[in-house]
């Protein structure tokens, strides 16, 4: 499945900015208002963020024609 640049950029913003902000918001409001199972909801949001981020990274690597080989690493984290 091919994504347009506009769709990819929107998904990237959603995963990198919105989802982590949502996890913090839910966690803090849940503590203030004593929501039940708030820690579980924060974990679910964070798991979804990691999953979607992984899918986007795979999509990006496929688009650039690479398998991730040749990427520079620092402390076990690939970049560049």
Whether residue 12 lies inside any domain: the answer is: yes
Whether residue 22 lies inside any domain: the answer is: yes
The span from the CA of 19 to the CA of 21, in Å, is 5
Output the pLDDT for position 50. Answer: 97
Q: How many domains does the chain have?
A: 1
3-state secondary structure of 70: coil
From first to last of its 80 residues, the chain has per-residue pLDDT tens of: 677 889 999 999 999 999 999 999 999 999 999 999 999 999 999 999 999 999 999 888 877 776 555 555 555 555 55
Output the pLDDT for position 59. Answer: 80
Whether residue 78 lies inside any domain: the answer is: no
Domain extent at residue 12: 5-60
Whether residue 80 lies inside any domain: the answer is: no
The first and second tokens of residue 7, run together, are: 């769709």
Whether residue 49 lies inside any domain: the answer is: yes
Whether residue 76 lies inside any domain: the answer is: no
Enter the pTM of the model: 0.76
């Amino acid at each position: 499945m091919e994504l347009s640049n506009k769709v990819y950029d929107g998904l990237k913003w959603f995963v990198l900015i919105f989802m982590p902000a949502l996890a913090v918001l839910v966690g803090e409001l849940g503590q203030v208002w004593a929501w039940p199972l708030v820690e579980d909801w924060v974990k679910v949001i964070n798991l979804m963020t990691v999953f979607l981020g992984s899918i986007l990274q795979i999509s990006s690597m496929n688009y650039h024609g690479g398998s991730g080989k040749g990427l520079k690493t620092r402390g076990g984290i690939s970049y560049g």
